[in-house]
Amino acid sequence: MHELSADKYGYTLCFLFRNSHVLMLERQKEPNKGLWNGVGGHIEPGESPNYACLREIREETGLSVDGIRFCGILSWESWYFPSGGMYIYSIEAPEGGVTASDEGQLAWKDIDWVMQSSQVVSNISKFLPDVIQQRDPVRYHCIFDKKQLLSCERMSLPEWATESWLKDGRF
């Protein structure tokens, strides 16, 4: 299995919850164009993953939040697109409306729909149950053939992530 170093985890992904709904973004850009995903994006040079996640939430939804919860890391490999990784977060969303960005349309989707729909990025159903149940952070490693998910393995966090998480719960 391919193990990535910390510097290869260049993205964040956050799930904002309200009651039995999760805020989803219908992506207008690749990767995953046309599919529903959580909000998030690139970690800019000099940013911590936590800060990048908060910035992406603000940019993509118009919501200002704090107190995001670290839920784990996701790595992937595919012959179709470069291997990489991301930090996964969640938060109970504050009241108020959301404002879409050029990243795509936003909608509050029922969690059951997210878990079952073919319109959602294929690996989300593999790790979202752990996020919802607030299990301890782990690593999910996914293998794709183009955009088709072939496998998703759940495993312990790598040592570099465990040390950061145990230190203060953030990166």
Q: Sort 118 into a burial class: Cβ within 10 Å, 0-12 / 13-18 / 19+.
A: exposed
**Does 1 map to a domain?**
no
Q: Sort 55 into a burial class: Cβ within 10 Å, 0-12 / 13-18 / 19+.
A: middle
Number of folded domains that form the chain: 1
Highest mean pLDDT among 9-13, 79-83, 144-148: 9-13
| Residue whose tokens read 């107190």 | 67
**Does 94 map to a domain?**
yes
Q: How far apart are the first and last CA of the chain?
A: 24
- For 99-141, the pLDDT digits (tens) are 988 899 999 999 999 999 999 999 999 999 999 999 999 999 9
**Angle of CA points 163, 169, 171, to nearest 5°:** 70
Contact 90, 11 (CB under 8 A): no
Q: State residue 48's pLDDT score.
A: 92
**Does 98 map to a domain?**
yes
Q: What is the pTM of this model?
A: 0.93
Q: State residue 126's pLDDT score.
A: 97
Q: What is the CATH number of the domain that holds 38?
A: 3.90.79.10
- For 57-104, the pLDDT digits (tens) are 999 999 999 899 999 999 999 877 788 999 999 999 999 899 988 899
**Does 171 map to a domain?**
no
Read off the DSSP letter of residue 122: T
**Does 30 map to a domain?**
yes
In which domain, by residue range, is 144 found? Answer: 6-165
Q: Which amino acid belongs to residue 120?
A: V
The CA distance from 27 to 114, in Å, is 14
Contact 107, 27 (CB under 8 A): no
With a CB cutoff of 8 Å and minimum separation 6, the contacts of 81 are: 31, 144
With a CB cutoff of 8 Å and minimum separation 6, the contacts of 27 are: 33, 34, 35, 36, 37, 103, 104
